[in-house]
Amino acid sequence: MKIDVFKVEEWMNEYEKYSKFDLGNTTVNTLSLNKLFEITNTNKNDFFERLSQKNLGYGYITGNPNLKKGICSFYKTISENEILPTIGAAGANHLIFYSLIEPNDRVISVIPTYQQLYSIPKSFNADVQYLHLKPENNFLPDIKELKSLITKNTKLICLNSPNNPSGSLIPDDLMKEIIEIARKNDIYILCDEVYKELNQNEYFSSSIADLYENGISVCSMSKTFSLAGLRLGWLASKNKKIIKSCMHHREYNMISCSMIDEEIAALALTKSEEIISQNKKILSENLEILDNWIQSQEHFKYIKPQAGTTSLLYYDFDVPSKEFCHRLSTEKGVFTTPGFCFELEYCFRIGYGKDKKIFSEGLKKISEFAKENRGLYDTRILK
Ligand SMILES: Cc1ncc(COP(=O)(O)O)c(C=O)c1O
C-alpha cells in the first residue's frame, strides 16, 4: 500500500538536530516523571513499588478504568464505555480511517492540518477533497465550500480544532452549522482535538463528541498534558457502532495500550487543571512576545492564533518556504517548519510552547536573517 511522505514529520526528523532555538516543536515544555510526581504530590518510591508488583500482562484491554474516568472529565456527556485508548492521537486517527473508510468513500478534510487526516484516507483509495482554511477567513472552515463538496458518497468530514498549524479554534456556533450539514447527509465528523483546552481565554469550544451523535473526538496526553513520550491517546464517540468497529480493528494492530503508560497518564489526569493552567501560562506569555515582535516587523505578518501551540507566519520574500526554513535552520540555528509541509507557500509554522528566553532569541535571529537577506530576494506584497 502506497502512502505519501509525511512531510512535517520528515522535516522535523531532519532539521531538529540543527535546533539551537526550538521554534519548530508543537509540544509545550514536556514533563519529566520527577516533575509529574511533584505536581501530583506522589511519592516516587511508593509509585514504583506499587507498579513493580504488578504482573506485566496486557492490562485492561479496553483501557484502565482510572484513565478512562480521568478522560471523561474532559467531556460533558461522554461515559467510560464511549472512550477507546490508542497509541497517541496518531494511533486514534489511523484507527478511525482503518475502521471506517473504504475505497471511493468521499472524505472531506480541512487543509492545512496534520497530514494524517488526508494522506491516510487517500492511501485507502478514498476520494479525498480539501476544505481550505484561509487566512482571510481566520483559518476557519467556509460553510459554502463545505456544502459544495458534499456528495452522496461522503462518509467523513475531518476537522482539527485547535488547528495545527494556524491556531484557529472552531466556535460552537460554526461547529453546529457544520454538524447540521453532516447530520442531514448522514456523515461522520472526526475532530482532531489534540490541542484541547490550550486556548488564550477562559472559554473553550465544546468537543465534537458532546455535540454530535456521529462525532468522533481524537485527543491525547501529548500536547495538553505535555506527556508526548507516553504515546497515549484516545478516541471518544457516542456512536456505539463506531466504538465497536474501532475496537474490532484495534484488536488486529494493538490489542491494548501499555499498562505502564496508562498508569502514568491516569496519575497526570488527577491534576489536569494544574498542568493545563501551567501550559496556558507559558503559551500566553510567549504569544505576547510573538505579537509584540510581529508588530515591529516589516517582512512578516500573521493571523493571531486563538488556541493550540502553533502559528503560521507569512513573509514577503519571494523564496520557497523550504529554502527559507532550511537557511534559517542551518545558518541561524532556528528550527521552524516550512509551509510546504502543509501544502502552503510563503509562510512557515512556529511553535510557541517552549522556553521564553530561547523563544525570544529565536525571533531575534529571524529578524537578523530577514535584515541580512533584504537585498537578496525580491519582495512580494503581504496581504
Ligand atoms: C493535529 C495533530 N494530531 C495528532 C498529532 C499526533 O499526536 P500524538 O503525539 O498524540 O500521536 C499531532 C502531533 O503533532 C497533531 O498536531
The model's confidence at residue 380, banded by pLDDT at 50, 70 and 90, is confident
> Average of pLDDT values for 296-319?
96
Higher pLDDT pick, 381 / 166: 166
> Average of pLDDT values for 191-216?
95
Pocket of ligand 1 (CB under 6 A): 26, 88-90, 114, 160, 164, 192, 194, 220, 222, 228, 233
**Model confidence over 242-276: pLDDT tens digits?**
999 999 999 999 999 999 999 999 999 999 999 99
Ligand 1 centroid – CA 16 distance (Å) = 17
Mutate-to-test residue for ligand 1 from 12, 93, 97, 114, highest number of ligand atoms within 8 A of CB = 114
Nearest CA to ligand 1 atom 2: 114
Mutate-to-test residue for ligand 1 from 222, 235, 337, highest number of ligand atoms within 8 A of CB = 222
3-state DSSP call for residue 379?
Answer: strand
How many distinct structural domains can be found in the chain?
A: 2
CATH number at residue 238: 3.40.640.10
C-alpha 336 chain-centroid distance: 16
What is the pLDDT of the chain when averaged over all its residues?
Answer: 96
pLDDT of residue 383: 74
Give the CA count within 13 Å in the CB-facing half-sphere of 97: 28
Mutate-to-test residue for ligand 1 from 170, 223, 337, 350, highest number of ligand atoms within 8 A of CB = 223
The model's confidence at residue 375, banded by pLDDT at 50, 70 and 90, is confident
pLDDT of residue 200: 82
212 and 104, same structural domain?
Answer: yes
pLDDT of residue 378: 84
> Above pLDDT 70, what percent of the chain?
100
> Above pLDDT 90, what percent of the chain?
95
The model's confidence at residue 44, banded by pLDDT at 50, 70 and 90, is very high
Nearest Cα neighbor of 302 from 163, 162, 166 is 166
Residue 359 falls inside a structural domain: yes
Closest-lying ligand 1 atom to the alpha carbon of residue 310: 16
Nearest CA to ligand 1 atom 15: 114
Q: Are 340 and 8 a contacting pair, CB within 8 Å?
A: no
Ligand 1 centroid – CA 7 distance (Å) = 14
311 burial (CB, 10 Å; 0-12 / 13-18 / 19+) is buried
281 and 265, same structural domain?
Answer: no
120 and 266, same structural domain?
Answer: yes
Closest-lying ligand 1 atom to the alpha carbon of residue 89: 10
Asked if pLDDT for residue 18 goes beyond 80, the answer is no
Rounded to 5 degrees, φ, ψ at 85 are: -70, 150
Ligand 1 centroid – CA 292 distance (Å) = 28
**Model confidence over 324-344: pLDDT tens digits?**
999 999 999 999 999 999 999
314 and 247, same structural domain?
Answer: no
Residue 49 falls inside a structural domain: no
pLDDT of residue 377: 84
State in Å, rounded, how far the first CA of the chain is from the last one.
Answer: 41
342 and 278, same structural domain?
Answer: yes
Residue 377 falls inside a structural domain: no
The model's confidence at residue 6, banded by pLDDT at 50, 70 and 90, is very high
152 and 118, same structural domain?
Answer: yes
**Model confidence over 225-247: pLDDT tens digits?**
999 999 999 999 999 999 999 99
Asked if pLDDT for residue 381 goes beyond 90, the answer is no
Residues 6+ apart with CB under 8 A from 134: 142
CATH number at residue 312: 3.90.1150.10
Domain extent, residue 16, equals: 7-26+273-372
User: What grid cell was written down for 113?
Assistant: 492540518
Q: How far apart are CA 329 and CA 309, in angstroms?
A: 20
124 and 113, same structural domain?
Answer: yes
71 and 178, same structural domain?
Answer: yes
Higher pLDDT pick, 379 / 22: 22
Q: How far apart are CA 108 and CA 154, in angstroms?
A: 8
243 and 103, same structural domain?
Answer: yes
> Average of pLDDT values for 178-191?
98
| Last-in-domain residue among 270, 305, 324 | 270
Q: How far apart are CA 225 and CA 268, in angstroms?
A: 8
pLDDT of residue 382: 83
> Average of pLDDT values for 42-67?
97
Ligand 1 centroid – CA 223 distance (Å) = 8
Closest-lying ligand 1 atom to the alpha carbon of residue 113: 1
Ligand 1 centroid – CA 27 distance (Å) = 9
Whether the bond into 103 is cis, omega within 30 of 0 = no
* pTM for this entry: 0.97
pLDDT of residue 1: 85
| Last-in-domain residue among 247, 270, 293 | 270
Residue 381 falls inside a structural domain: no
> Average of pLDDT values for 10-36?
94
Residue 43 falls inside a structural domain: no
pLDDT of residue 368: 97
**Model confidence over 114-159: pLDDT tens digits?**
999 999 999 999 999 999 999 999 999 999 999 999 999 999 999 9
pLDDT of residue 144: 98
Q: Are 22 and 348 a contacting pair, CB within 8 Å?
A: no
Q: How far apart are CA 314 and CA 317, in angstroms?
A: 9
215 and 352, same structural domain?
Answer: no
